[in-house]
Chains A and B, each alone.
Chain A
């Protein structure tokens, strides 16, 4: 539990941080540190330098901009969990935060850190993916907006380019006729998702107009269960159609297992069960 030697930088502006990343191409960006620091202590990660974002003003906070809820990258889970704006406009995010990590993790861990880390078993990647958000990043070439569907590209890999810093996530507010739920099957040791499924359902006249379903834990990175989404699209929403759609959830997903707790076969089963439960709960929450 003793990391290798590294340099530590604490810039006070985004420009300074971007410069530091340009000067130290192997440097890692430090947000809440609850994934990076343990990996460094086990010497699984040995970055020569850390660029800590905590002293940069303006990177945290939650605000409403038109029909988007904007959450700064350095906003902690705790701030999301307790935000009235989040409860009002994207309630699933506040509710789901209850099952993220533990109190310490929620006090330190950040929204941007979770997304940029793209942990295969992280909760937020699946939730933000299902919510159809977009991500803003600043880099040497300036600012750009990345649709969340293009953001997660692999295990611990995102569309962020070297030297780019994720600055905020923009989530469409949930209007009338939409409901969402995140269902998580936690690992008994790590409390990471063995499988987690977030479902967002839009309903009109009891017909499913839109369904976005994202899976974490079972896959290498947060991935949409498109076969299930399509199966539900245009269907009357009831227990039978939801069950039928959920059965198809694993289609097209690359599901992986482990040798201690949950095999690929079992996780595939859980993807079906949790998709059904998430859809049922999402429909229940439509307002």
Chain B
């Protein structure tokens, strides 16, 4: 087990940070908005450098970098909340596709092809696994009914991230033998995509499947009996990335706050010299150190087999990220004073992004419950 980054990892971190700085500096200035690069261009650049899909296995067109690579990317992008779409357009769909690409099913070839293009930053897909009024329940109600050699999908999906430009949706559905995951072309007849903005400015979508017919052979990424495990694994990987992104956001928000407090003077001295504010910063720093530790620990276990211990580590990292992230981002805003509330300064974007992640992938309560269930399962085994 090693927590500290290797020389290679430091190099990747620096490359990512330089690229983001360069692209943010080159982005067009709009009054009252922090500058951000165009997401498609950012994705393409990161793809060309082998960073975007660097975490994906080589058999799925990735760089084989695994959890540590995922950590570096998600954390680095979290430090600069520019709306990269990394989790929605790469991590969650990539996890579902990579598992299919490594399997023996009929969906292996199309999954490997799409996954390789996602890894290269050339294409995106979007996972559709959540349903109305079911919070974060992973078992689908949307039904896949057999129809000759194909299936017909009927039902609803909500909170689909990164819908625009996705060439396909990865859709969980209930079949007679259990949950499956299907590859559905974005232009499939009978599929209605209605997009809406989330509060952090990201685009989300609702999908309605009105008897969408699929030739099952190529479209079934994960068959009944495998789908539930594949969804669970993809959510686990996405939640790990959420914890890493949140960690990056916390690090950046606290650093920005302390920089500002060194500059800003009230009552004739820098805010940073007030003991009451120093104590709060020290508390936040210590909270972030705990989060950093659990995220680094989870990265280590995510690289190994998915034992109960490993799965519980990831649930713990995500739950602590949900809580610590909200705290740190709120405090960062407050400790700036009024300027912290402005869009222009940008520290508020960390709070919105952290909150949007937990609304999408699971909030602290849900993740704590997940953690306990895994621990109890481990104790019973």
Our verdict on whether A and B bind, yes or no, reads no
